[in-house]
Structure 1
Amino acid sequence: MSLLNQIIAAVFTVLIGLVSGTIYIMSDSSKSMLLNQLESHSQDTATHLGLYMAPYIAEQDSAAIETIVNAIFDSGYYEKIQVTNFDGDDLFTALRSPEISEDVPQWFIKLIAFNTPNIEIEVTHSWAKVGFIVVKSRAGYAYEELWKGTQTTLIWFITLSLICVMFLSTLIRWILRPLKSIEKQALALSNREYIEVTNIPKTKELRSVVMTMNSMIKRVHTMFDEQSKNIEELRRTAYIDELTGLANSRSTNAQLSDKLDNRDDEGPCSLLYLHISDLTALNEQLGQENANNLIKQVADKLSAIGENHLGSLIGRLSGSDLVLLIPEPDRETLTREVDTLLDSYQELFSFYHPDSNQDTPIHIAIVSSNQDITAAQILSVARIGIDEAIKDSAASVYKTLSTAESESTLADWKAHVASSINAKQLFLQYQEVRATNSEDIIQKELLVRILSQAGEPCAAVRFIRIVKELGLIAALDKVVLEHAINHLHNHTDSAPLAVNISQNTLHTGSFEQWLIDTIKGKNIAGKLNIEMNESSVLNDIDRVVTFKQLLSKHDIGFGVDNFGVHPRGFSYLYKIHPNYIKIDGSLCKEIHQNAEDRFFLSSLVTAANSLSIPSYAERVEHSEQIQQLQKLGVVATQGFIHGQPKNLL
């Protein structure tokens, strides 16, 4: 029972007790008053009869006495009138049974129990005693009057009580309004969500509770922010180049390897490999400070190009080498951007070295690929391109690692991809996410495939660029989700499924309503998880928060993929509070070999655990990694160590 109802019940109980006591006192008082009234009435009647009938009693005229008594008795207010002579002989007796109206309930009669007295007077005539008159009033009259009074009192009590209860309910609700906020705050706190109550109540006790809760939450929030700052500082020390602010060599190599090695969902990409020739001579010509400023501005301009391409990766491989990986670039746009970049570098070099007539010592190799390629392969080709550019004194050189396709073949493939999505003819596989301390399957992450014209499943690298070109990414995500929902509904013993959706899908206006309509009537509670990568989450945090709240209402989980590599840090966890995070594979690749990686990953997991957010690690390939991850508090792993992707039946 709620506090409000308890207070109302308590007040109502007190009112009932108060009114019950009042009714009892009033009834007892009324009973005494009525008894006195009946006694007085009987006394008056007997006195008047004695004065009037004295001659008749003296003469023992029974006929006259009967006439007079009946005239009085027939009024109905008397139960008994008896006239006797002085010797006690009965001259006349009028008697009726003690009738009580049927309107008066028996329990009330038994509760009140009137005992009306017999009033007896002595009759004298001519100074001689001639007889006696006994009068007893009818008790039924008293019961009826008292019952009517009690009924009226009860009706007024019930009416006034209802009015009072409604008034009290409204008043108490208004007084206890802050308790709703406190309850919401406490429930959020139990879920490791920290919200402050802004409407501070004026009631002293409630105000004290709210202020205390707010103070505690502020301290927790401050502690989390400080923890985030410390971990971010650790990340900068371990993975960020101090001069340029870009990913350092170790981080860049790890991220390139993670994106390109053993991955089939990246699609076509281009690598811009920037090399500054003879950095030692440049330091001597410009001075170390100017040379550092030049390198910093070179990195900033390259980074500006990366900001124009969603999902790009930029880093510093060495003192003189920078790389920028761009997914699915447009060749003409990229060429134009590189030409503009080289012109700006020439102006920049002229600014720092105005007396020199030589060209800028900056060379760029652009390597484009639309096929599977490892990080080592694409870097090797890029370095060869740099050597050629230096040898030929060229500012840039282009290299292509592509499988040639005729225009007709490409057009046919585009049509086939579009047709497969529109017809919902997809082939789904999954990769298991297993607990680190057992072989239990925590979830299965779905991988989408499209069957080729020959009926062979094609990896995402072959069609993802086309899907985006055709604007079908949201349609693709919907088809995958629909398959997942139907599978879970038809296979109630299935492990939970995880589906990764794109940022574009979330921004499709009708997506949320489509999802609600699709899951309606489906038995999938607690079995479906939707994931978004960290970059997409950070691009629109408010929208993601709203989306996560919608998923929670329908018992659908939400996870953050590729967690821990975005330069903006992870303080957003406090606001979004996902159901789990998947730590990016680049952070786990050398976890069993590098103490610095272990320390950083341990800090990430600790921060997530402080919000009760479980941590999973993705792209795990060695048992040594699992052992270290388990020690660090990671609860589950995903990767080829658990086997190749399997078909979703």
Structure 2
Amino acid sequence: MSLVKQLLLAICLFLLIAFSGSFLVSVENSRDQLQTQLRSHAQDAATALGLSLTPHVEDPAMIELMVSSIFDSGYFASIRVVAIADGQVLVERTRSLDETRAPGWFVRLVNLEAQGGDALIMRGWQQFARVEVLSHPQFALNRLWDSALGTLGWLLLCGVISALLGALLLKRQLRPLLAMADQAEAITRREYRTLPRVPRTPELRHVVLAMNQMVGKLKNLFEQEAAQTELYRRQAYHDSLTDLPNRLAFEHGLQAALTPGETPDGFLLAMRLGNLNQLNQTLGAARTDAILQAMAVPLQAIQAAHPTWLCCRSRGGEFLVLAPGSQLEDIQALAGQLATQASSLEDLISQVEHQPIALGIAGYRPGDGNAQVLSRMDQALAESSTAGERIKPGYRPADAGQIVDTAHGWRTLLSEAIEQRRFVLHFQPAMGGQGQTQVLHHKLLVRLPDTQGQLMSAGQFLPWIERLGLAGAFDQCMLSMALAHLDKHPGALALSITADTLHNPEQRQRLSQQLDKHNGAHYLTLEIDARYLQNSQDVGQLAAELKTSGCQLALQHFGRQLSLIGELALIGLAYLKIESSFIRDLDQAPEKHLYLEALVKTAQRIDLPLIAEQVQTKGEIQALISLGIEAMQGRALAEPASWQEQAG
């Protein structure tokens, strides 16, 4: 029972005791006073009637008339005139003692008895008769009952007012305690909040300040852990000179991009500055470093504009852009911009004999080998040429594989698929527990029949969905299909949504409204691509909007955004899925272990589950378990399949 209810019950009990005591004392005092008044009233009436009847002792009619006139005033229970000589009743008028407005239990409780008085009627010097008057207690009882009702009403009014004022005052005084309770519950949900308003009450003020201090220390601890882990990542995967990812990061990213499954086709754009040693000897290390930093500036802008791409400095004067899901015309336009900027650098190094800056574009498809793609890149760089002052990039395409090869064809195919819900749902379980035998949830993976009826993976058509502005409609379609699946097969389900929905308030609102109308929304977890996160504001807003439906929120492809983990801890995410580039060949790449160990430690401190995604080999499973990551998803555990195949 809440403290407010306990206070209300205490107030009611106090008022009941106060009323009962006050009523008993009042009744007892009033009863004695009223009995005295009734006795005096009866005696006065008897005396007056006796004096009035003395002149008319010989007239029985007059005696009866005068007795009746007094009796009819209503204040008497009985009036009798009794002869002294023989005790004969000459005149008698009576009224029932039960005539009263007060209930029987009140009459019995008060026990107010009728009071009498008498007087003599004289005939000359002789006593002729005796007048006996008995006062009726009904008027006293009615008055006492009205007084009791008035007292009860007043005490009830005081009680209601006291209860309301007490409840409001107590609620106001207990607001900091309730806020601290919410604060403590938020910590269990991995949300670390401080209370901005400090109460004036000294005791509560001390407790609130102590809680805020504890939460602040926890938050600082997590931020320090995250900063240390981010430092490990930058040391391992960043080039200190250009502040771009290094060759190791590129190799891991290329391995993940070439993994068959959900990854899209893409292109590799390379920019190479030759004779770097000659430049270094002629211009000096400082000037050469400045040239390399100038070459890196446009790549940093490209990385910010395309979070899913990877712009890095491979080695020496070689820079690479790994662009999954990109289109050739976009890469060619980007190469043209880099060519213009690179041409301006030629003026800085014209005094040194060197090979010109080369640009190359190489296509790739999931399933290609690393060496195969790098060989295409080298061939493309070798084909690069200079026409006047402009660099012409070389180009080596990937093997043909796309059935739909025009924007119009893609728009027609995708629009019809969204409108008619022609997508095919596949599922892949995320496993955890001892021996990875427990199904944590099923990840919904979408397939699209092409013009020849073959199923395309999401990586093949999702870039076109985003490029054609169909992301919002696609998310609504996928959510409807996911909820329809939950109607038939309730159970934990994970669904990815695009960055367009995350950053668009109107689409977020439509998403929330659709979830609010469905009873099975609490089974669903929406996954957001962490690579699109620049801050946690939109994620926090979406998480708040989803709370009413019970739907949870999680991040996938997480790994490069560790600096945000302190902010993400305040949101209450369901889990983080680690990007596959940190998982690929983990058992053969010990340099990845240090970062993952730090990530696991940081996540454990904020009680945030980690799931490794796209696990491909048994060796990766064993390496993940040794690092403390037991939840994972990938082909090494289960192939994506239809629900019937999964259930079978």
Give the alignment's TM-score, normalised by structure 2: 0.86
Deviates more, 1:97-106 or 1:123-132: 123-132
- 1:353 corresponding residue in structure 2: none
Q: What is the deviation of 1:418?
A: 3.7
State whether structure 2 residue 481 is matched by structure 1 residue 483: yes
Match of 2:621, as an amino acid? Answer: I
Does structure 2 conserve the Cα–Cα contact (< 8 Å) formed by 1:418 and 1:467? no
Does structure 1 conserve the Cα–Cα contact (< 8 Å) formed by 2:190 and 2:571? no
Specify the SS of the correspondent of 2:632.
strand
State whether structure 2 residue 44 is matched by structure 1 residue 44: yes
Whole-Å Cα distance in 2 between the matches of residues 177 and 462 of structure 1? Answer: 54
- 1:615 corresponding residue in structure 2: 610
Whole-Å Cα distance in 1 between the matches of residues 631 and 239 of structure 2? Answer: 31
> How do 1:234-383 and structure 2 match up within 5 A?
234-267=232-265, 269-327=266-324, 328-329=326-327, 330-349=330-349, 356-359=351-354, 362-369=357-364, 373-383=368-378
Whole-Å Cα distance in 2 between the matches of residues 516 and 525 of structure 1? Answer: 10
Deviates more, 1:603-612 or 1:32-41: 603-612
Whole-Å Cα distance in 1 between the matches of residues 331 and 586 of structure 2? Answer: 37
State whether structure 2 residue 532 is matched by structure 1 residue 530: no
Q: 1:245 to 1:77 in 2, by over 3 A?
A: same
Whole-Å Cα distance in 2 between the matches of residues 96 and 502 of structure 1? Answer: 97
> How do 1:466-615 and structure 2 match up within 5 A?
466-492=464-490, 495-508=491-504, 510-519=506-515, 522-536=518-532, 538-539=533-534, 541-566=536-561, 568-615=563-610
Q: 1:472 to 1:389 in 2, by over 3 A?
A: closer
Match of 1:544, as an amino acid? Answer: V
Q: What is the deviation of 1:423?
A: 2.5
Specify the SS of the correspondent of 2:349.
helix
- 1:422 corresponding residue in structure 2: 419
Q: What is the deviation of 1:616?
A: 0.5
Specify the SS of the correspondent of 1:463.
helix
State whether structure 2 residue 627 is matched by structure 1 residue 632: yes
Q: What is the deviation of 1:526?
A: 2.7
Q: 1:369 to 1:338 in 2, by over 3 A?
A: farther
Does structure 1 conserve the Cα–Cα contact (< 8 Å) formed by 2:340 and 2:391? no
Does structure 1 conserve the Cα–Cα contact (< 8 Å) formed by 2:68 and 2:93? no
Whole-Å Cα distance in 2 between the matches of residues 196 and 238 of structure 1? Answer: 35
- 1:399 corresponding residue in structure 2: 395
Does structure 2 conserve the Cα–Cα contact (< 8 Å) formed by 1:100 and 1:143? no
Q: What is the deviation of 1:617?
A: 0.3
Give the alignment's TM-score, normalised by structure 1: 0.86
State whether structure 2 residue 194 is matched by structure 1 residue 196: yes
Q: 1:331 to 1:611 in 2, by over 3 A?
A: closer
Q: 1:412 to 1:305 in 2, by over 3 A?
A: closer
Whole-Å Cα distance in 1 between the matches of residues 517 and 538 of structure 2? Answer: 26
Match of 1:563, as an amino acid? Answer: F
- 1:19 corresponding residue in structure 2: 19
Specify the SS of the correspondent of 2:31.
helix
Does structure 1 conserve the Cα–Cα contact (< 8 Å) formed by 2:433 and 2:631? yes
Q: 1:132 to 1:473 in 2, by over 3 A?
A: closer
Q: What is the deviation of 1:584?
A: 1.0
Q: What is the deviation of 1:339?
A: 1.1
Q: 1:86 to 1:288 in 2, by over 3 A?
A: same
Q: 1:312 to 1:293 in 2, by over 3 A?
A: same
Does structure 1 conserve the Cα–Cα contact (< 8 Å) formed by 2:100 and 2:139? no
Specify the SS of the correspondent of 1:246.
coil
Whole-Å Cα distance in 1 between the matches of residues 352 and 494 of structure 2? Answer: 59
Whole-Å Cα distance in 2 between the matches of residues 221 and 491 of structure 1? Answer: 40
Structure 1, unmatched stretches of 5+, are: 351-355
Does structure 2 conserve the Cα–Cα contact (< 8 Å) formed by 1:429 and 1:446? yes
Whole-Å Cα distance in 2 between the matches of residues 436 and 379 of structure 1? Answer: 39
Q: 1:416 to 1:163 in 2, by over 3 A?
A: closer
Specify the SS of the correspondent of 1:571.
helix
Whole-Å Cα distance in 2 between the matches of residues 500 and 204 of structure 1? Answer: 49
RMSD across aligned positions (CA): 3.6
Whole-Å Cα distance in 1 between the matches of residues 555 and 5 of structure 2? Answer: 42
Does structure 2 conserve the Cα–Cα contact (< 8 Å) formed by 1:80 and 1:135? yes
Specify the SS of the correspondent of 1:104.
coil
Q: What is the deviation of 1:212?
A: 2.6
Whole-Å Cα distance in 2 between the matches of residues 362 and 305 of structure 1? Answer: 19
Does structure 1 conserve the Cα–Cα contact (< 8 Å) formed by 2:264 and 2:460? no
Whole-Å Cα distance in 2 between the matches of residues 552 and 635 of structure 1? Answer: 28
Q: 1:168 to 1:568 in 2, by over 3 A?
A: closer
> How do 1:118-129 and structure 2 match up within 5 A?
118-119=116-117
Does structure 2 conserve the Cα–Cα contact (< 8 Å) formed by 1:370 and 1:401? no
- 1:458 corresponding residue in structure 2: 456
Whole-Å Cα distance in 1 between the matches of residues 508 and 417 of structure 2? Answer: 23
Does structure 1 conserve the Cα–Cα contact (< 8 Å) formed by 2:275 and 2:354? no
Does structure 2 conserve the Cα–Cα contact (< 8 Å) formed by 1:39 and 1:119? yes
Whole-Å Cα distance in 1 between the matches of residues 113 and 376 of structure 2? Answer: 120
Deviates more, 1:407-416 or 1:249-258: 407-416
Q: 1:379 to 1:405 in 2, by over 3 A?
A: closer
Match of 1:421, as an amino acid? Answer: I
Q: What is the deviation of 1:218?
A: 1.5
Q: CA-to-partner distance for each residue in 1:480-536, whole Å, 9 max, x for gaps?
A: 2222221111223xx432222211233455423433454465442332221111122
Q: 1:374 to 1:478 in 2, by over 3 A?
A: farther
Q: What is the deviation of 1:78?
A: 2.6
Whole-Å Cα distance in 2 between the matches of residues 467 and 630 of structure 1? Answer: 36
Whole-Å Cα distance in 2 between the matches of residues 545 and 635 of structure 1? Answer: 27
Specify the SS of the correspondent of 1:641.
coil
Whole-Å Cα distance in 1 between the matches of residues 583 and 274 of structure 2? Answer: 34
Does structure 2 conserve the Cα–Cα contact (< 8 Å) formed by 1:371 and 1:401? no
Q: What is the deviation of 1:104?
A: 1.9
Match of 1:526, as an amino acid? Answer: H
Q: 1:575 to 1:93 in 2, by over 3 A?
A: same
Structure 2, unmatched stretches of 5+, are: none
Q: CA-to-partner distance for each residue in 1:84-119, whole Å, 9 max, x for gaps?
A: 677784564635254232522111111111123444
Deviates more, 1:115-124 or 1:253-262: 115-124
Whole-Å Cα distance in 1 between the matches of residues 487 and 18 of structure 2? Answer: 59
Does structure 2 conserve the Cα–Cα contact (< 8 Å) formed by 1:532 and 1:560? yes
Match of 2:583, as an amino acid? Answer: C
Specify the SS of the correspondent of 2:270.
strand
Specify the SS of the correspondent of 1:637.
coil
Whole-Å Cα distance in 1 between the matches of residues 49 and 369 of structure 2? Answer: 130
Match of 2:26, as an amino acid? Answer: M
Match of 1:483, as an amino acid? Answer: M
Whole-Å Cα distance in 1 between the matches of residues 172 and 163 of structure 2? Answer: 14
Specify the SS of the correspondent of 1:476.
helix
Specify the SS of the correspondent of 2:451.
coil
Q: 1:109 aligns with which of 107, 128, 140?
A: 107
Q: What is the deviation of 1:207?
A: 2.8
Q: 1:471 to 1:148 in 2, by over 3 A?
A: closer
Specify the SS of the correspondent of 2:494.
strand
In the comparison of the two structures, how many residue pairs are matched?
Answer: 638
